[in-house]
Amino acid sequence: MSHLVVQYKSSMHMNEFINPYIYPPPSYLSFLPLHSSIHGATTNHRPPPPYATGFRMNQPARRYIITASEAESMARSKGLTVPQLLPSLVKSAQDLARTPISKFNVGVVGLSSDGRIFFGGNIEFPGLPLHHSIHAEQFLITNLAAHGGGPKLLNIAVSAAPCGHCRQFLQELRGVSKTQIIVTDQPLENPDYKPISSILPNPFGPFDLLDQETPLILEKHSNKLSLKDDSSITQNGNTPNLSNGYHELINKNEETLITEALEAARGSHAPYSGCPSGVALMDCEGKVYKGSYMESAAYNPSMMPVQAALVAYMVAGGGGYERIVAAVLVEKEEVLVKQEDTARLMLKYISPKCEFRVLHCI
């Protein structure tokens, strides 16, 4: 039986996820994603209330990337250099944030060494523990990584001082200590950029754990992975062949979904755990978005693959999360860090009708 058939049978309708999610006992903690380190989530899983997600309908199309030539032209028209232009774009980046919990929008723009400008905003998920939130700087780096930005991030302009979590996540970029940063909501007595090293001296970073040759985020990753023949998962009350109204569309695109999820896993940055993973999402129009897992040397700031795929969805103009109707996760089986349960939980809350499947790779 081909894996396509097997994974079809492992389909699961999120509405049918009736088994209460039982938070793994301590002996299972080593199977949790790295962001669960130290602070394990302890939520009860009742059906989510109909709250807002922070996405406003009918909002104008947002920009998440500006081309190099357009950036040059915008700067020139204002008599500025491109780094000088960045602070004026931060307000637009703040409008990208989805903050139904805090209502505190953080926006960040970054100039890549290829001349493009990338945007990021903070994303919150009501009903889920706060550590599922995507910070603006994480969004920015995921946006960069997903679109071949790089190899370096030269300048960052951000609306508020980066939190410790983000200062740490930025350490996954090679040479980031020299990246220049400016914070726009602070009194600009000295409105100049300053190096990241000035806001995180004595950092703990990748090379405390890795050798210098290991590729970092924004560098090419080619994890040698292939799908297992028998790669279905049938646990947690899996019910096959349920329909969420998009079964035909899902079947038509299932090969693309699987290919993209595998490709995302091959591109993931998981040097600390050796547990690469990737997620592909499909919306109700059949468009597919992929996201690669990205680890942090400090574990907790790691970006889960489902978060990264959601960033791809938003950057591509995706609207409300309920438009996501199918998801595929590719990861290894029987490893120390697994994404399955946390991805399922997240999808269950943000898009209850999403069909979620897991394929194992080797």
- Smallest distance, Zn ion to C-beta of residue 137, A: 6
Among 6, 166, 294, 347, binds Zn ion (CB under 5 A): 166
132 binding Zn ion? (CB under 5 A): no
Is there a binding annotation on residue 123? yes
Is there a binding annotation on residue 275? no
249 binding Zn ion? (CB under 5 A): no
Query: In this chain, which stretch among 29-37, 111-119, 134-142, 346-354 interacts with Zn ion, using CB under 5 A?
Result: 134-142
Which DSSP category does 83 fall into? H
Q: What angle do CA 159, 129, 269 make, to 5 degrees?
A: 70
Alpha carbons 94 and 72: distance in angstroms, whole number: 22
Is there a binding annotation on residue 324? no
Residues numbered 69-128 forming contacts with Zn ion, rule: CB under 5 A: none
199 binding Zn ion? (CB under 5 A): no
Query: In this chain, which stretch among 11-19, 160-168, 268-276, 349-357 interacts with Zn ion, using CB under 5 A?
Result: 160-168
Is there a binding annotation on residue 163? yes
Nearer to Zn ion, 135 or 290 (CB): 135
284 binding Zn ion? (CB under 5 A): no
Question: Binders of Zn ion: how many residues, by CB under 5 A?
Answer: 4
Contacts of 156 (CB under 8 A, 6+ apart): 86, 108, 109, 110, 111, 137, 140, 179, 180, 181, 182, 196
DSSP secondary structure of 301-349: TPBPHHHHHHHHHHHTT---GGGEEEEEEEEESS-SS--HHHHHHHHHH
Among 29, 41, 68, 163, binds Zn ion (CB under 5 A): 163
Among 135, 266, 269, 360, binds Zn ion (CB under 5 A): 135
Residue 157 class from Cβ within 10 Å (0-12 exposed, 13-18 middle, 19+ buried)? buried
Alpha carbons 326 and 285: distance in angstroms, whole number: 11
Which residue in the list 16, 72, 137, 295 is annotated as catalytic? 137
Query: In this chain, which stretch among 46-54, 161-169, 277-285, 324-332 interacts with Zn ion, using CB under 5 A?
Result: 161-169
- Smallest distance, Zn ion to C-beta of residue 250, A: 35
Query: In this chain, which stretch among 157-165, 204-212, 270-278, 326-334 interacts with Zn ion, using CB under 5 A?
Result: 157-165
Residue 199 class from Cβ within 10 Å (0-12 exposed, 13-18 middle, 19+ buried)? middle
Catalytic-residue membership of 137: yes
66 binding Zn ion? (CB under 5 A): no
Nearer to Zn ion, 165 or 269 (CB): 165
Alpha carbons 316 and 149: distance in angstroms, whole number: 15
Nearer to Zn ion, 80 or 163 (CB): 163
Q: 294 by DSSP, 3-state: which? A: strand
Query: In this chain, which stretch among 146-154, 164-172, 308-316, 319-327 interacts with Zn ion, using CB under 5 A?
Result: 164-172
Nearer to Zn ion, 35 or 165 (CB): 165
Other CB atoms within 10 Å distance of the CB of residue 222: 8
Nearest in space to 287 (alpha carbons), one of 249, 338, 320: 249
Q: What angle do CA 229, 331, 227 make, to 5 degrees?
A: 25
Nearer to Zn ion, 35 or 135 (CB): 135
Could you give the strand order of the β-sheet that contains 180-183, starting from the edge strand earlier in sequence?
Answer: 65-66, 117-121, 107-112, 153-158, 180-183, 194-195
Nearer to Zn ion, 101 or 210 (CB): 101
Q: How far is CA 54 from the centre of its chain?
A: 17
In the chain, helix, strand, coil percent, each to 5?
A: 30, 15, 50
Among 165, 290, 348, 360, binds Zn ion (CB under 5 A): 165
Write down the number of H helices and E strands in the chain. 9, 10
Residue ranges in contact with Zn ion by CB under 5 A: 135, 163, 165-166
Annotated binding site for substrate: 122-124
Annotated binding site for Zn(2+): 135, 163, 166
Q: Which active-site residues does the annotation give?
A: 137
